[in-house]
Protein backbone atom coordinates (compact mmCIF):
# COMPACT_ATOMS: atom_id res chain seq x y z
CA UNK A 1 0.00 0.00 0.00
CA UNK A 2 1.43 3.31 -1.10
CA UNK A 3 1.45 6.47 1.00
CA UNK A 4 -1.05 8.08 -1.40
CA UNK A 5 -3.52 5.24 -0.74
CA UNK A 6 -3.21 5.81 3.01
CA UNK A 7 -3.98 9.52 2.57
CA UNK A 8 -7.03 8.75 0.41
CA UNK A 9 -8.38 6.21 2.93
CA UNK A 10 -7.72 8.60 5.82
CA UNK A 11 -9.50 11.45 4.03
CA UNK A 12 -12.53 9.27 3.30
CA UNK A 13 -12.70 8.18 6.95
CA UNK A 14 -12.45 11.76 8.24
CA UNK A 15 -15.16 13.00 5.86
CA UNK A 16 -17.46 10.09 6.77
CA UNK A 17 -16.99 10.65 10.49
CA UNK A 18 -17.62 14.38 10.18
CA UNK A 19 -20.86 13.74 8.27
CA UNK A 20 -22.06 11.33 10.96
CA UNK A 21 -21.23 13.81 13.72
CA UNK A 22 -22.94 16.67 11.84
CA UNK A 23 -26.15 14.66 11.47
CA UNK A 24 -26.06 13.51 15.09
CA UNK A 25 -25.71 16.99 16.57
CA UNK A 26 -27.79 19.07 14.16
CA UNK A 27 -30.97 17.06 13.63
CA UNK A 28 -33.49 16.92 16.41
CA UNK A 29 -35.48 13.82 17.29
CA UNK A 30 -39.10 14.50 18.08
CA UNK A 31 -41.31 12.80 20.63
CA UNK A 32 -44.37 13.99 18.76
CA UNK A 33 -44.59 13.95 14.97
CA UNK A 34 -47.11 15.37 12.53
CA UNK A 35 -48.66 13.33 9.74
CA UNK A 36 -49.54 15.58 6.81
CA UNK A 37 -51.92 14.26 4.17
CA UNK A 38 -52.33 15.82 0.72
CA UNK A 39 -54.73 14.84 -2.08
CA UNK A 40 -54.09 16.19 -5.59
CA UNK A 41 -51.46 18.51 -4.11
CA UNK A 42 -54.05 20.11 -1.80
CA UNK A 43 -53.78 19.91 1.97
CA UNK A 44 -56.30 17.39 3.36
CA UNK A 45 -55.54 16.65 7.01
CA UNK A 46 -52.91 16.93 9.73
CA UNK A 47 -52.63 14.46 12.62
CA UNK A 48 -50.24 14.70 15.57
CA UNK A 49 -49.01 11.33 16.79
CA UNK A 50 -46.38 9.72 18.99
CA UNK A 51 -45.29 6.21 20.00
CA UNK A 52 -48.46 5.63 22.03
CA UNK A 53 -50.86 6.50 19.18
CA UNK A 54 -52.82 3.61 17.67
CA UNK A 55 -55.32 4.68 15.03
CA UNK A 56 -56.83 3.39 11.80
CA UNK A 57 -58.76 5.77 9.55
CA UNK A 58 -59.84 6.07 5.92
CA UNK A 59 -59.03 8.88 3.50
CA UNK A 60 -61.59 9.14 0.70
CA UNK A 61 -61.54 11.24 -2.45
CA UNK A 62 -63.13 11.19 -5.90
CA UNK A 63 -60.34 8.88 -7.06
CA UNK A 64 -60.75 6.21 -4.34
CA UNK A 65 -60.01 5.39 -0.71
CA UNK A 66 -56.96 4.50 1.37
CA UNK A 67 -57.00 3.01 4.86
CA UNK A 68 -54.13 4.43 6.92
CA UNK A 69 -52.73 2.95 10.13
CA UNK A 70 -50.74 4.78 12.80
CA UNK A 71 -49.14 2.34 15.23
CA UNK A 72 -46.25 2.71 17.69
CA UNK A 73 -44.96 5.91 16.10
CA UNK A 74 -45.07 4.47 12.57
CA UNK A 75 -47.44 5.05 9.65
CA UNK A 76 -48.48 2.87 6.71
CA UNK A 77 -51.25 2.41 4.19
CA UNK A 78 -53.08 -0.66 5.39
CA UNK A 79 -55.46 -1.09 2.46
CA UNK A 80 -56.44 0.68 -0.74
CA UNK A 81 -58.78 0.22 -3.67
CA UNK A 82 -56.14 1.10 -6.27
CA UNK A 83 -55.15 -1.55 -8.80
CA UNK A 84 -51.40 -1.96 -8.26
CA UNK A 85 -51.33 -1.52 -4.44
CA UNK A 86 -47.72 -0.25 -4.52
CA UNK A 87 -48.56 2.14 -1.68
CA UNK A 88 -49.34 -0.84 0.59
CA UNK A 89 -46.04 -2.50 -0.35
CA UNK A 90 -44.10 0.55 0.89
CA UNK A 91 -44.75 -0.58 4.48
CA UNK A 92 -44.22 1.50 7.60
CA UNK A 93 -42.47 4.87 7.69
CA UNK A 94 -41.36 6.51 10.93
CA UNK A 95 -38.70 9.14 10.22
CA UNK A 96 -39.29 12.83 9.65
CA UNK A 97 -39.15 13.59 5.95
CA UNK A 98 -40.28 10.14 4.81
CA UNK A 99 -43.40 9.82 2.69
CA UNK A 100 -45.78 7.35 1.09
CA UNK A 101 -47.38 8.08 -2.26
CA UNK A 102 -50.42 6.50 -3.92
CA UNK A 103 -50.21 7.74 -7.51
CA UNK A 104 -53.64 6.50 -8.74
CA UNK A 105 -55.35 8.40 -5.89
CA UNK A 106 -52.92 11.35 -5.99
CA UNK A 107 -52.36 10.84 -2.27
CA UNK A 108 -49.23 12.00 -0.43
CA UNK A 109 -48.61 11.13 3.21
CA UNK A 110 -45.53 12.61 4.85
CA UNK A 111 -44.12 12.86 8.35
CA UNK A 112 -43.03 16.24 9.66
CA UNK A 113 -41.60 17.30 12.99
CA UNK A 114 -43.28 19.60 15.44
CA UNK A 115 -40.95 22.59 15.05
CA UNK A 116 -37.63 23.16 13.30
CA UNK A 117 -36.41 20.13 11.34
CA UNK A 118 -32.72 21.05 11.28
CA UNK A 119 -30.32 23.61 12.66
CA UNK A 120 -27.79 25.06 10.21
Percent of the chain past pLDDT 70, that is, above it, reads 88
pLDDT at res. 96 = 87
Element (H, E) at 18: helix 3-26
DSSP class of 82: S
Say what the pTM is. 0.70
Element (H, E) at 88: helix 86-89
Instruction: Domain ranges for the chain, please list them.
Output: 1-28, 33-113
- Structure confidence at residue 8 as a pLDDT band (50, 70, 90): very high
CATH no. for 33-113:
2.60.320.10
pLDDT at res. 35 = 95
pLDDT, tens digit, 9 for 90 and up, residues 33-54: 999 999 999 999 999 998 899 9
Amino acid sequence: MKIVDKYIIGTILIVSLSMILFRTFTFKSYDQKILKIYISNNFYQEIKFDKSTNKIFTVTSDLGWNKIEIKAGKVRILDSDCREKNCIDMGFIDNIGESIVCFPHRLLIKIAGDGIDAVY
